Amino acid sequence: MKILIIDDERSIRNSLKEILADEGYDVDVAEDGALGCAMVDKEKYSVIFCDIKMPGMDGLEVLDKLVAMGVDSAVVMISGHGDIDTAVECIKKGAFDYIQKPLDLNRILITIKNATEKVSLVKETRILKKKVYGQPMIGESAPMLQIKDMIEKVAPTDARVLIIGANGTGKELVARNLHQKSRRSTMPYVEVNCAAIPSELIESELFGHEKGSFTSAIRQHKGKFEQADGGTLFLDEIGDMSLAAQAKVLRVLQERKLSRVGSDKDITVDVRVVAATNKNLKEEIAKGTFREDLYHRLSVIVINVPTLDDRKDDIPMLVEHFIDQICAETGMQPRDIDADALMLLVDKNWTGNIRELRNVVERLLILSGERITASDVRAYAL
């Protein structure tokens, strides 16, 4: 773990460095605020100790700069001339803690332990939020810019959206971005994979059931519509939903009411429904396997997600994004990729779309050497 000490007093920064180095920490020092900020811009530190009273850029200015830079480090302010008001101001500005001189070793070590736990929690929270709400939509090709523009226009409304596209194109990501940019973003986002739920259980899963309504109903269960009340319900692979369930979904969309399995009591819900499918629903309507009235209810706005082969200009950007993402999640050392290796990936036929590309990038990171070369791509990706 790396620690930075910013203090204009040489004796303090050097003695603190020696003490922390003896405790096993990797420690850098800076003699003024400007140098400290420059070092933070180039290196990642878990904890930064910063003196308040310094010539030039003082500690509070350094703290403001670090906050503006968006660093993840826990910043601990230290001072020999502090008071309660100064400590409160530091905490309000974003400092993790405030320590008065003379510095106590036990207090410093406890602060470092607590600070690193806080930094870890912040990172874990960020990862969880990305998993829940989705990654940013990567790509600047014409089809992607059109989708991003559509999301910006549609997300603030309550209009129902039907997302169509092949498997692996990122339909779930579009749905999550619609929710994240909507006025419902602080409310639940609930996903249902209609193809993964047996037809005999889909109604219970969506609308809930009362205790004793069927053999295994040992307790009352709230369905996905109730769980998503106030938020967004994402019905993935809706083309695989049974006709009986389709009829009940249509009723909820029309009346904003549902009844649990085994109950005749109506429950009012406020849910924005976003649906997705890889099927041609108009063909399913012609076959009699999908209700035309439900289709028209769901397709107020239709977003067609292109295949990766239809947006090849985005592949270099996606590859760089997946390298950074996978390395951050797994702790692998970030790797550069050669230009000719990247061109081989661009020229490849991506039948599995974005999902396949991410898997290929992860495979290359695991199996390649210090750089990802064209030979690696030929051996492991083509």
Same domain, residue pair 244 and 328: no
CB 271 within 8 A of CB 310: no
Does residue 242 fall inside a structural domain?
yes
Residues 166 and 269 in one domain: yes
- Per-10-residue mean pLDDT, the chain, length 382: 91 90 92 92 89 89 90 87 79 89 86 84 65 72 95 95 96 94 92 88 89 81 92 95 91 91 90 96 96 96 96 96 90 90 96 95 94 95 89
Residue 48 has what pLDDT? 93
pLDDT of residue 129: 57
Cα angle value 209/210/214 (rounded, 5°): 80
Residue 166 maps to a domain: yes
Final residue before a domain boundary, out of 242, 269, 304: 304
Say yes or no: 231 and 324 in one domain.
Answer: no
* In-domain check, residue 357: yes
Domain co-membership, 118 together with 192: no
Range of the domain at 21: 2-132
Q: Is the same domain home to 264 and 352?
A: no
Residues 113 and 28 occupy one common structural domain: yes
pTM confidence score: 0.68
Residue 299 sits in the same domain as residue 314 = no
**Cα dihedral sign for 358, 71, 94, 10?**
positive
Is residue 88 a part of any domain in this protein? yes
What total of structural domains would you count in the chain? 3
- Are 94 and 161 part of one and the same domain? no
Of 91, 112, 132, which residue sits at a domain end? 132
Q: pLDDT at position 82, please?
A: 64
Looking at the structure, do residues 293 and 342 belong to the same domain, yes or no? no
Quick one: 298 and 314 in the same domain?
A: no
